[in-house]
Structure 1
Amino acid sequence: MNIRGIRQELISLLLEMGRESHPNEFVGVLKERNGILNEIDLLPGTVGRENSASLFYDMMPLDTHVAGSAHSHPNGVIQPSLADVNFFPRTGRYHIIIGYPYGKDNWKCFTADGEPCSLDVIS
């Protein structure tokens, strides 16, 4: 699966989720269609705390369109932590981190090994 972009509506939703969850983190599973990240699934049993968010892997959808994850960093550091790098491969290949103050440029994409990855934003 080669992801080439993310829908603007999804970025807007993720930023709003960060604002609404603050000061806690949120986490969800990203899905794609035709190489475009376009949806987030919030799994039952997901827990958000000030310093972490966790989900139950048993609740992951059995879906070939799962592409990765999205979560927030309320501290504003938009870099994956060691815990993030350990989490990423379990949920897919592409991972969005949303950071405080949740403005239009307060997000980045990373690959499963924690390396930055550029994505086109698609209207």
Structure 2
Amino acid sequence: MHIRGISRDLLDLLLSIGKEQHPHEFAGVLREEEGVIRELNLLPGTTSNEHSARLFLDMMPLDTHIAGSAHSHPNGVMIPSDADLSFFPRVGGRFHCIVGFPYEAGDWRFFSADGTPVDLEVVE
């Protein structure tokens, strides 16, 4: 699957959820449709606190359209932590989004599973 971008609506939703959950983290699974990341799946059993969010991976959908993950960093540091680098490959997909405080328009980044920054177009 070739992914060319993320929808503006989904990106706005991720930033809004980050702001709403602050100072706790949130985490979810990203899904693509026709080459655009358009959906966020919040898995049952997910827990979060001020330092982490944990997905219950047994609740992952069996889906060939999983694009990666999204989660927040309430501290505003939008660089994958060691825990993130362990988490990304377990979720699967090639695109992992971090949104950070203060959750404004530019407070997001995408990374590959190994932590390399990835540029994605925002699709209206």
TM-score range, shorter chain: over 0.9
Structure 2 counterparts to residues 57-76 of structure 1, below 5 A:
57-76=57-76
CA shift digits 1:33-87 (9 cap, x unpaired):
1111000000000011100000111000001111100000000000000000110
Amino acid at match of 1:101: P
1:100 maps to which residue?
A: 101
| Matching of residues 1-123 of structure 1 within 5 Å | 1-91=1-91, 92-123=93-124
AA aligned opposite 2:83: A
The Cα of 1:17 is off from its aligned counterpart by 0.2
4+ residue runs over 6 A deviation? none
Q: Distance in 2 between matches of 1:35 and 1:79?
A: 25
- Measure, in 1, the Cα distance between the counterparts of 2:115 and 2:4: 17
Q: CA RMSD in A?
A: 0.6
* Stretches of structure 2 lacking an aligned partner (at least 5 in a row): none
**1:2, CA displacement in angstroms?**
2.4
After alignment, is 4-13 or 87-96 more displaced? 87-96
The alignment covers a number of residue pairs equal to 123
